[in-house]
A and B are shown apart, each in its own frame.
Chain A
Amino acid sequence: MAVTHTDSRLPSAEEILEPSPAAKLRRRMLGHVGITLGGGVFLVIVAMALLAPWIAPHDPYLQDLAHRLIPPIWHEKGTWEHVLGTDQFGRDYLSRIIYGARISLLIGIAAMLISGIIGTAMGVVAGYFGGRIDMAITFVITTRLAMPVILIALAVVALIGSSLQIVILVLGFLIWDRFAVVMRSATQQVRNLDYVAAAQAAGCSTLRIILTEIMPNVVNSLIVVATVEVAHAVILEAALSFLGLGVQPPLPSWGLMISEGKGLMFFLPWVIAIPGTALFLLILSVNMLGDGMRDVTAPENRN
């Protein structure tokens, strides 16, 4: 039986150059500035949100009308009692920022999960089955793309009323379009590869193929879109809250804090600047993380 073993004393190019895909990914990730920096800031914010009850110096809802609008520590009138000052109701700003992180992250991640499930399911189904199913789903996506998100959100909220849960649901059901488009495209690229045909020929059911053959190969794109949509949801919530139709006071949403402080914009800029900076840092870090994920995973896909 002429079976030739393919070992060689001289190391082959593959053996030197190619560690496993997971090892490669890890190495790339740690070397990428966007991921380490963006990821680092993001983790700080997440830690802040999770540890809020222990690290916030005061109760974010506690009003103290005797000590309203105390400026932050870098002003001459600032005190260490209230490091970032107090707002117009005397509530400690630092505590509100810390608890506000919870709201932004909760909304960002929850909306991303809902829209992710909807959009991915639609995109993968459209990409996998093609034909009339694809046409129908593409029509739905196109319709959704034609709608202005903010106006729809405003309309819904104006009709139903607004709360944290409603904001999450509204956003989740509106921002799935990018998931759908990207996952559809990614699925199409993978769909016609021979290993999918081999799995079909082995008798795999369609569901199994989608979950075990296709999904692992499109998950890179999914992660990138997910990070982008977290940022997207956070910004939208801030906008809605700013317009008064998002989270309702007294919740310490950063967007709401900006809204409440807009009257003081020219006199006491820090009232807006502080939550604004917090929002900026969160969105920047998430975007950097997303860009980094894309850079790191993209060349690996192109074999």
Chain B
Amino acid sequence: MSILTVENLSVDIPLAGGVLHPVRDISFSVEAGKTLAIVGESGCGKSLTSLAIMELLPTAATRSATRLDFAGQSLLSLSERRMSDIRGDRMSMIFQDPMTSLNPAYPIGDQLEESLLRHRKVTRREARDRAVYLLEKVGITAAESRLGQYPHQLSGGLRQRVMIAMGLMCGPELIIADEPTTALDVTIQAQILLLLADLQKEFGMALILITHDLGVVARVADRVAVMYAGQIVETGTAEQVFREPTHPYTRGLLECIPIPGKTAPGSPLGSIPGIVPSLIGELHGCSFRDRCELAHEACAVPEIIPMRELDARRGYRCVLDPRSMAGEIAEAGLQ
């Protein structure tokens, strides 16, 4: 039932100072009609992951994976031509900044129609009708009259809705949305997220939501994958990850966020000291060890720390097992 299965996906980029490993052995899957959120801070590799799946990486980058299946078909050995047939048609992407992802030189009607005409043998008239239908679905009134408008004539929220409509033109089975609401005002963000959820239910699409906003993830996602330094460090349902965060990084992140009504105003917020380590060259042990309060010698071993399975599809990447983790936390006086 999974529409996308990814196993051991890695991205390498050779640089002047060595080889950069921004994505390291990522494995996850998305079910049809469900939402997976990949959440992490800047530099964790989440955007590159989505580009790697769509085969849109910069030329210098190389992708490798043991498995990359979309709707039962392997994407690993597809030619560029076959891949571009799938892109936009059955798997589409929504980007962060609608001003730079919509071409300012063409009216939105043209851009919408082009997505459909590229993949299906339909007439201009049919493409236009579909564009109008989708624009209205995303909540843009008087859609027909808007087709001739240019992106700069629309507000940020409207542009993002156009991007969503564009992503839906061919009725994809999977949408990858990279920070779709980060550039928008909070009230518009809420509207767009509700819209995405409705459309998902109506069209039965799967959604991969990539974001750094934990609030959005908690409210919108079915399953969550937390990324840090190119690896997935915790997976589970939203309920599991947010109610019982296990990996020290996830715990640390949640302690950083003030919650009105729950966090005492004026009290110092939890923080994660230090900065993300370099991902160039040979990497070993736990990448989080320099910033983790529970770190000890076992964290600096030569091997990469494997994911520890707590449950079916619930895991975290740490040397400590759940019981000793609880012990250490109590000892360190946290919580």
Contact = CB atoms under 8 A, between A and B. Distances in A.
Given A2-B268, A16-B17, A17-B15, A10 B290 contact: yes
B290 A11 contact: no
Contacts of B263: none
Nearest to A2: B268
Interface in A4-48: 4-17
B143 interface: no
Contacts, number: 41
B290 A13 contact: no
A6 B275 contact: yes
B74 interface: no
A68 B274 CA distance: 80
B62 to A, nearest CB: 19
B146 interface: no
B258 interface: no
Contacts of B291: 8
A contact patch SS: loop
B276 A4 contact: no
A5 B268 CA distance: 16
A8 B277 contact: yes
Contacts of A13: 43, 276-280
A127 B161 CA distance: 35
Nearest to B273: A4
State which size class the interface on A falls in.
10 to 19
A7 B17 CA distance: 21
Given A16-B17, A17-B15, A17-B17, A6 B276 contact: no
A4 B271 contact: yes
Contact of B278 (A2, A7, A15): A15
Nearest to A9: B290
Contacts of B273: 4-6
Contacts of B287: 10
Contacts of A16: 17-18, 278, 280
Given A2-B268, A13-B280, A8 B17 contact: no
Nearest to A10: B277
A8 B271 contact: no
Nearest to B283: A10
Nearest to A7: B274
A8 B289 CA distance: 10
Nearest to A16: B278
Contacts of A17: 15, 17, 278, 280
Contacts of A5: 273
A11 B282 CA distance: 12
A11 B271 contact: no
Contacts of B276: 12-13
Given A17-B15, A17-B17, A12 B278 contact: yes
Interface in B280-313: 280, 287, 289-291
A12 B276 CA distance: 6
Interface of A: 2, 4-17
6 contacts: A2-B268, A6-B273, A10-B287, A12-B277, A13-B278, A17-B280
